[in-house]
């Protein structure tokens, strides 16, 4: 019977809860009083006194250290209690037939040694022969505590109970828990009262008359150079009168699922939600709180999930502080030794952990409790409709996709969090079904084509494959539609000179054509360098041409199979052609040129808003002639586009207007002007930016309709 301090510190981690020592002291004191009252009729009311002193440990006089004493009127440290104290994994309290007693493994007191380097116990207990006083002192670097370390002398009935004294904070607590916070700011008497009210509210209410008119007193004081600073003393008390009545309680069932598949099992775990509304004029509390509990005490704080902003978390809502406790036997048996989290509960099922056996996830718990908590606390700044709108517009995920993946928008979640869950589910489904398809293919290899089984397997494979494509493509198609809608919006703004970068000072050279050009395809790049472009704005077919070039030397272009497309002097000839233009345009080639190995080319010329497009009609013919003649017969079908917003129709001889929109088209054989030999065919269009944008919007609307995606 030995308490191995060093071994216990290794096996039980430091709790992240800065108030864990106070919680353990008070919890043990309550248990001790319940044990005493079970056999002592004179024990009427629980009484606990906690005193905290702050003092300096350096010459500067900073108040950076502290001591805690906690005295109670419990049963004291008798033989049974001593044995439990010295046993790390104890079941002592589990076997006590006392209502309200806390269940534990004896790991809580290890936090005393994590936080402080000195511990003293002074306890008076009753035996059949009278009262005895038992004492022990521990200081680092002592490794263990044994029964022989305790002294025992006769005691007095008036001292029945236990006093625990802790002193000298350990370095890990300063570094990981306190950090830059001074103990005097964190552990003042009023703050301790507020925190302990929140921590023990459910348990104290539940114990009712068992602890009588209880009183938990808090006193804090400071010492400087060993002397008590009288003006520093502050005190506060937590009493029965401070306990509010529970506002509402509701039991919620959470269905269990198969850990491997996620299929519902039809069995349930019960979770009890207790809601307290505390009048802000009577309770000066630090914040609202929502927490998962173990054995009637908060363990995992989830307040920020329901009160999204810091302001909502720390201020009353509707004149009340809200305190919601979530309890379950399921949680009681999974609380970790530090009592600051739960072991093994996955975020989702399947969790991806091959060894997980848990049948309930946090996702399932929240799906059941969130609507109830929303009704209880009702914060004002979260809207499901607003989140859904952002999911659709920002991430291209439709309601149909939410339904297809059984993804529910949980209270308090952002659009990004929901989008990540939807896409993760699609990825998992595609991976699972791809695996199933592979297995099915292996089975097909073993069948005989002249049997009915063969065709059944073929049909099954087809359906499974189609299902996988649907899931995969829905996610990708939705992202594509939203992305394209954004590109069209940017192009619309650029053509109207409404982009922020187009608001330039007078006298500064405008870059409107360059901006529009870059939206379609990055300037001075080709499709070997850039795979992400938006030539679909003109035609979906152009998005998949073999080669696309933007202001790059045409002589460098070669098919993927090898061989140059054009003669080596084509760029020189283009330079001659362009040399007659103004100095700024001398180095230019067609803004964008696209080439297909089947023998077609596309020339795209952009003209900045306000520039007359009709003045550049001849450029298309000259470009077409050079491309055809210098390709040695490889390029015979040439499409040309002049795109702008200003046209003089009187200069468009031979051009035919479109039946809709403001554009024109022109088609003719391409003849060598010198030899009169046919070089190929041309098809040219003059387009207004407005028409290009409207065509793109119509295509997007068709896609939106197919996947029920509303981007208005």
Structure tokens that stand for 17 in this block:
């809860």
pLDDT category at 23 given cuts 50, 70, 90 is very high
User: What are residue 50's DSSP bridge partners?
Assistant: 70, 218
Higher pLDDT, 99 or 128: 128
Residue 418 has pLDDT above 90, yes or no: no
Q: Is residue 27 a contact partner of residue 102, using CB atoms and an 8 Å limit?
A: yes
Task: Determine the pLDDT at residue 465.
Answer: 55
Per-residue model confidence as pLDDT tens digits over 222-241: 988 778 888 889 999 999 98
What's the rounded Cα separation, in Å, for the pair 323 and 303? 9
What's the rounded Cα separation, in Å, for the pair 234 and 400? 60
Question: Starting at the edge strand that comes first in sequence, how are the strands of the sheet with 248-257 ordered?
Answer: 248-257, 264-279, 320-327, 289-294, 297-301
What's the rounded Cα separation, in Å, for the pair 492 and 497? 9
Highest mean pLDDT among 4-13, 71-80, 456-465: 71-80
Per-residue model confidence as pLDDT tens digits over 449-501: 556 565 566 566 655 555 555 555 555 666 666 667 777 878 888 888 888 78
What's the rounded Cα separation, in Å, for the pair 511 and 16? 57
Average pLDDT over residues 548-571: 60
Tell me, what DSSP letter sits at residue 597?
T
What's the rounded Cα separation, in Å, for the pair 556 and 554? 5
Task: Determine the pLDDT at residue 519.
Answer: 81
Q: What Rg value do the Cα atoms of the chain yield, rounded? A: 39
Higher pLDDT, 254 or 388: 254
Tell me, what DSSP letter sits at residue 178?
I
E-strand stretches of 12-61: 47-55
User: What are residue 548's DSSP bridge partners?
Assistant: 594
Task: Determine the pLDDT at residue 705.
Answer: 65
Task: Determine the pLDDT at residue 101.
Answer: 76
Q: Which segment of 158-167, 205-214, 449-458, 632-641 scores lowest on mean pLDDT?
A: 449-458
Residue for token pair 């009187």: 650
What's the rounded Cα separation, in Å, for the pair 178 and 21? 13
Residue 442 has pLDDT above 70, yes or no: no
User: Which residues, 6+ apart, have CB-to-CB distance to 79 below 8 Å?
Assistant: none
Residue 187 has pLDDT above 80, yes or no: yes
Task: Determine the pLDDT at residue 583.
Answer: 39
Task: Determine the pLDDT at residue 237.
Answer: 94
pLDDT category at 581 given cuts 50, 70, 90 is very low
User: Which residues, 6+ apart, have CB-to-CB distance to 679 below 8 Å?
Assistant: 625, 628, 629, 636, 670, 671, 672
Task: Determine the pLDDT at residue 512.
Answer: 83
Higher pLDDT, 283 or 172: 172
Q: Is residue 693 a contact partner of residue 492, using CB atoms and an 8 Å limit?
A: yes
**249: nearest Cα among 206, 304, 194, 196:** 206
Average pLDDT over residues 12-25: 90
CATH number of 3-239: 3.30.70, 3.10.120, 3.30.565, 3.30.519?
3.30.565
Q: Which segment of 126-140, 248-262, 464-478, 515-529 scores lowest on mean pLDDT?
A: 464-478
What's the rounded Cα separation, in Å, for the pair 270 and 365? 10
Residue 386 has pLDDT above 50, yes or no: yes
Structure tokens that stand for 100 in this block:
């309200």
Length of the chain equals 712
Residue 587 has pLDDT above 50, yes or no: no
- The 10 Å CB-count burial string (b at 16+, else e) for 160-170 is bbbbbbbbbbb
Task: Determine the pLDDT at residue 114.
Answer: 92
Structure tokens that stand for 565 in this block:
């497309």
E-strand stretches of 73-190: 116-127, 130-139, 144-145, 151-154, 161-169
Percent of the chain with pLDDT over 90: 24
Residue for token pair 């001075």: 524
- Helix, strand, coil percentages in the chain from 3-state DSSP, rounded to 5: 40, 25, 35
pLDDT category at 97 given cuts 50, 70, 90 is confident
pLDDT category at 604 given cuts 50, 70, 90 is confident
What's the rounded Cα separation, in Å, for the pair 96 and 34? 10
The rounded mean pLDDT for the chain is 81
Q: Which segment of 149-158, 240-249, 405-414, 673-682 scores lowest on mean pLDDT?
A: 405-414
pTM for the full predicted model: 0.52
- The 10 Å CB-count burial string (b at 16+, else e) for 671-703 is eeeeeeeebbbbbbbbbbbebbbebbeeebeee
Q: Is residue 525 a contact partner of residue 553, using CB atoms and an 8 Å limit?
A: no
What's the rounded Cα separation, in Å, for the pair 276 and 198? 10
What's the rounded Cα separation, in Å, for the pair 512 and 532? 21
Residue 584 has pLDDT above 50, yes or no: no
3-state secondary structure at position 216: strand
Task: Determine the pLDDT at residue 366.
Answer: 92
Q: Strand 130-139 to strand 264-279: parallel, antiparallel, or no bridges (unpaired)?
A: unpaired
Structure tokens that stand for 210 in this block:
């068992």
- The 10 Å CB-count burial string (b at 16+, else e) for 395-412 is bbbbeebbebbebbbbbb
What's the rounded Cα separation, in Å, for the pair 390 and 415? 6
Task: Determine the pLDDT at residue 586.
Answer: 39
Please report, in angstroms and rounded to a whole number, the separation of the first and last CA atoms in the chain.
73
The whole-angstrom distance between residue 423's C-alpha and the CA centroid of its chain comes to: 13
User: Which residues, 6+ apart, have CB-to-CB distance to 640 below 8 Å?
Assistant: 602, 603, 604, 605, 620, 623, 624, 682, 683, 684, 685
Task: Determine the pLDDT at residue 52.
Answer: 95
3-state secondary structure at position 208: helix
> How far are the Cα atoms of 42, 127, 240 from residue 38, in angstroms, in the given order?
10, 15, 20
Structure tokens that stand for 700 in this block:
């997007």
Structure tokens that stand for 457 in this block:
């397997």
pLDDT category at 543 given cuts 50, 70, 90 is low
pLDDT category at 124 given cuts 50, 70, 90 is very high
- The 10 Å CB-count burial string (b at 16+, else e) for 449-465 is eeeeeeeebeeebeeeb
Domain boundaries in the chain? 3-239, 248-380, 383-495, 512-693
Per-residue model confidence as pLDDT tens digits over 388-398: 888 877 776 77
What's the rounded Cα separation, in Å, for the pair 593 and 604? 6
Q: Which segment of 39-53, 172-186, 526-540 scores lowest on mean pLDDT?
A: 526-540
* Angle, helix 384-395 to helix 415-445, in steps of 10 degrees: 60
Percent of the chain with pLDDT over 70: 81
Q: Which long-range contacts (CB under 8 A, 24 or more apart) does 176-181 make?
A: 176/14, 176/16, 177/14, 177/16, 177/18, 177/115, 178/18
Average pLDDT over residues 644-658: 89
What's the rounded Cα separation, in Å, for the pair 14 and 365? 27
Q: Is residue 189 a contact partner of residue 143, using CB atoms and an 8 Å limit?
A: no
Q: Which segment of 169-183, 238-252, 553-567, 606-620 scores lowest on mean pLDDT?
A: 553-567
Task: Determine the pLDDT at residue 553.
Answer: 62
Task: Determine the pLDDT at residue 67.
Answer: 94
Q: Is residue 593 a contact partner of residue 549, using CB atoms and an 8 Å limit?
A: yes
Task: Determine the pLDDT at residue 180.
Answer: 77
Task: Determine the pLDDT at residue 481.
Answer: 67
């Amino acid at each position: 019977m030995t308490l191995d301090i060093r071994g216990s510190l290794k096996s039980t981690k430091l709790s992240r809860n800065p108030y864990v020592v106070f919680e353990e002291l008070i919890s043990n004191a309550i248990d001790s009083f319940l044990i005493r009252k079970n056999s002592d009729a004179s024990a009427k009311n629980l009484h606990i006194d906690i005193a905290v002193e702050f003092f300096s440990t350096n010459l500067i006089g900073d108040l950076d250290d502290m001591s805690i004493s906690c005295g109670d009127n419990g049963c004291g440290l008798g033989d049974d209690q001593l044995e439990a104290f010295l046993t790390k994994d104890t079941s002592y309290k589990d076997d006590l037939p006392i209502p309200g007693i806390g269940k534990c493994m004896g790991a809580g007191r290890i936090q005393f040694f994590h936080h402080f380097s000195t511990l003293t116990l002074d306890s008076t207990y009753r035996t059949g022969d009278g009262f005895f006083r038992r004492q022990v002192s521990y200081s680092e670097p002592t490794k263990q505590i044994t029964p022989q370390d305790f002294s025992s002398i006769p005691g007095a009935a008036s001292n029945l109970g236990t006093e625990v004294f802790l002193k000298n904070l350990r370095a890990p607590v300063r570094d990981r828990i306190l950090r830059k916070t001074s103990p005097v700011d964190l552990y003042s008497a009023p703050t301790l009262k507020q925190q302990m009210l929140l921590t023990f509210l459910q348990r104290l209410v539940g114990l009712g008359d068992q602890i009588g008119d209880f009183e938990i007193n808090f006193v804090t004081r400071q010492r400087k150079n060993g002397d008590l600073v009288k003006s520093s003393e502050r005190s506060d008390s937590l009493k029965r009168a401070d306990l509010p009545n529970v506002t509402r309680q509701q039991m919620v069932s959470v269905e269990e699922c198969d850990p491997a598949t996620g299929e519902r099992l039809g069995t349930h775990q019960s979770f009890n939600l207790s809601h307290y509304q505390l009048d802000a004029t009577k309770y000066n509390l630090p914040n609202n709180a929502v927490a998962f509990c173990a054995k009637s005490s908060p363990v995992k704080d989830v307040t920020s999930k329901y009160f999204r902003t810091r302001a909502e978390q720390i201020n009353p809502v509707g004149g009340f502080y809200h305190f919601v406790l979530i309890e379950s036997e399921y949680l009681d048996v999974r609380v970790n030794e530090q009592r600051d989290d739960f072991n093994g509960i996955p975020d989702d099922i399947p969790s991806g952990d091959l060894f997980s056996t848990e049948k309930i996830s946090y996702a399932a718990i929240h799906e059941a409790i969130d609507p109830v908590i929303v009704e209880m606390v009702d914060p004002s700044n979260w809207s499901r409709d607003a989140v859904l709108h952002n999911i659709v517009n920002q991430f291209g995920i439709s309601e149909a996709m939410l339904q297809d993946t059984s993804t529910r928008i949980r209270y308090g979640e952002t659009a990004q969090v929901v989008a990540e869950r939807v896409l993760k589910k699609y990825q998992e489904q595609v991976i699972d079904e791809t695996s199933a398809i592979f297995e099915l293919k292996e089975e097909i290899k073993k069948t005989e084509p002249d049997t009915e089984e063969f065709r059944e397997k073929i049909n099954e494979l087809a359906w499974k494959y189609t299902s996988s494509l649907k899931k995969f493509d829905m996610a990708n198609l939705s992202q594509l539609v939203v992305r394209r809608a954004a590109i069209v919006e940017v192009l619309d703004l650029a053509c109207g000179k409404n982009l922020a970068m187009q608001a330039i000072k007078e006298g500064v050279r405008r870059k409107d054509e360059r901006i529009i050009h870059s939206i379609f395809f990055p300037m001075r790049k080709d499709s070997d360098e850039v795979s992400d472009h938006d030539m679909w704005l003109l035609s979906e077919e152009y998005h998949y041409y073999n080669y696309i070039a933007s202001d790059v030397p045409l002589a460098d272009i070669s098919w993927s199979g090898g061989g140059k497309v054009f003669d080596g002097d084509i760029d020189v000839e283009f330079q001659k052609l362009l040399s007659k233009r103004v100095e700024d345009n001398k180095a230019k080639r067609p803004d964008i040129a696209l080439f297909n190995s089947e023998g077609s080319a596309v020339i795209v010329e952009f003209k900045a808003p306000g520039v007359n497009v009709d003045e550049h009609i001849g450029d298309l013919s000259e470009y077409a002639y050079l491309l055809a003649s210098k390709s040695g017969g490889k390029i015979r079908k040439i499409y040309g586009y002049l795109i702008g917003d200003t046209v003089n129709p009187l200069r468009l001889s031979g051009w035919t207007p479109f039946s809709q929109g403001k554009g024109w088209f022109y088609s003719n054989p391409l003849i060598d002007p010198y030899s009169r030999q046919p070089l190929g065919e041309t098809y040219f269009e003059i387009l207004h930016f407005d028409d290009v944008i409207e065509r793109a919007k119509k295509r997007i609307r068709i896609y939106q309709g197919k996947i029920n995606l509303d981007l208005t």
